[in-house]
Amino acid sequence: MKGLKDFDCQGKKILLRCDFNVPLSQQGNILDDFRIKQALPTIKYLIEKRAKILLISHLNRPRGKELKYSLKVVGKRLEELLGTNVKFLPDCIGSMVEQEIDKMESNEIMLLENLRFHKEEKENNPEFAKKLADLADIYINNAFSVCHREHASVVGIIQHIISGQGLLLEKEIKVLEEIIENPKTPLIAIFGGKGDGFRAINKISERVDFILINELIDKEIKKRKIVFKNPEKIISPIDDINTFDIGPQTIDLFKEKIKKAKTVLWSGPLGKIEDKEYRNGSEQIAKAIIESGAFSIIGGGETMEFINQLGLSSKFNHLSTGGGAMLSFLAGEKLPGIEALRKYG
């Protein structure tokens, strides 16, 4: 797979697939800019190389052109973080976009509107993919967190343009591959979130010593009567706070396991953290991971937002931009975005 540094980017139009899918408040303000910040080293590298930089991304899951999911707000944040102009274009394909790109000078940065305003993006539509590819000279995928999606800007595009991976994608793959190939054990996974984490349990259980799960996943498993291959590895909560957080006995049980771990992977909050009273479980577990001294990896937008709010993000070894993508990768699944780069990139 080619990397950013394998290309001569000077004066070239570089289409950089980012994941700027950030949480927004009701008023449309960015609640956590972690994913934007993680894209900066690649963008700065391209600035240094005097490329013409075209940034593309999705934001949320709009049904058609829902302007509350416009990337304009991300453009403003990028300008603040980079200290330079980022021109926002209100579409990602079409003659207006092409004309603006034609006028671009080296070092200029443009952010194109939400790819998912076109349903063809999620359909991996070949014509849409080709239209995106035709905008630039080189395509760089820097969006690890969307590589598990077979979308036009992640997969289809690669057949039409010289392609490679960005610095962030390269870093994510390197760290997570190391965990798969050479983990320090005991290796513990902690799955929280809204309940769909049960999907990754079977595959992950082949690689880890224990999986600690939250109430919602536990409920989902019971509801679906799922029988796992390694049930002895799955540690469910033994008490709860109004069903919205893990209770004190569970916290102690989880802490015991975490204390002995040499590697901990954590994806998804353990309780309903949007309510202050149900944050304790996740906070205690975050602190237990740090105290354990284990190599720690955290993934998923919500978990990251929470850790950032606690001011603890620097205490973890690797913060993955991927939620679903990280779990799929660690479960040993092939991610379509990465596979396409390997095949055609």
Q: Are 158 and 334 in contact (CB under 8 A)?
A: no
CB-nearer residue toward ligand 3PG: 75 or 268: 268
Q: How far apart are CA 204 and CA 207, in angstroms?
A: 5
Q: Least CB distance from residue 224 to ligand 3PG, whole Å?
A: 21
Length reported for the chain: 345
Using CA atoms, how far residue 281 sits from 197, 222, 328, 333, in Å, is 18, 22, 25, 30
89: amino acid identity, one letter: L
Of the candidate residues 61, 184, 223, 260, the single one contacting ligand 3PG (CB under 6 A) = 61
For ligand 3PG, the nearest residue by Cβ is 21
CB-nearer residue toward ligand 3PG: 237 or 322: 322
Torsion-angle region of residue 195: left (phi > 0), alpha (psi -120 to 50) or beta? left
Q: Is 145 in the site for ligand 3PG (CB under 6 A)?
A: yes
Binding residues among 288-327 for ligand 3PG as defined by CB under 6 A: 301, 323-324
CB-nearer residue toward ligand 3PG: 145 or 263: 145
Q: Least CB distance from residue 11 to ligand 3PG, whole Å?
A: 31
Q: Which residues lie below 8 Å from residue 131, measured CB to CB, with a gap of 6+?
A: 93
* Backbone φ and ψ of 150, nearest 5°: -90, 70
Number of residues that bind ligand 3PG (CB under 6 A): 9
CB-nearer residue toward ligand 3PG: 21 or 296: 21
Choose the binding region for ligand 3PG from 142-150, 155-163, 241-249, 268-276 (rule: CB under 6 A).
Answer: 142-150
Q: Least CB distance from residue 140 to ligand 3PG, whole Å?
A: 17
CA angle, residues 235, 204, 194, in degrees to nearest 5: 65
Choose the binding region for ligand 3PG from 66-74, 96-104, 126-134, 145-153 (rule: CB under 6 A).
Answer: 145-153
Is cis: bond before 186, omega within 30 of 0?
Answer: yes
What is the per-residue DSSP string for 219-271? HHHHHHT---S-GGGEE--S-EETTTEE-HHHHHHHHHHHHH-SEEEEES-SS
CB-nearer residue toward ligand 3PG: 205 or 303: 303
Choose the binding region for ligand 3PG from 82-90, 141-149, 256-264, 336-344 (rule: CB under 6 A).
Answer: 141-149
CB-nearer residue toward ligand 3PG: 20 or 210: 20
Binding residues among 15-44 for ligand 3PG as defined by CB under 6 A: 19, 21
Q: Is 118 in the site for ligand 3PG (CB under 6 A)?
A: no
Q: How far apart are CA 35 and CA 46, in angstroms?
A: 18
CB-nearer residue toward ligand 3PG: 153 or 280: 153
Q: Least CB distance from residue 19 to ligand 3PG, whole Å?
A: 5
314: amino acid identity, one letter: S
Q: Are 147 and 265 in contact (CB under 8 A)?
A: no
Binding residues among 146-175 for ligand 3PG as defined by CB under 6 A: 146, 149
Residue whose entry in the numeric block shows the structure tokens 């993934």: 299
Q: Least CB distance from residue 145 to ligand 3PG, whole Å?
A: 5
State the residues that interact with ligand 3PG by CB under 6 A: 19, 21, 61, 145-146, 149, 301, 323-324
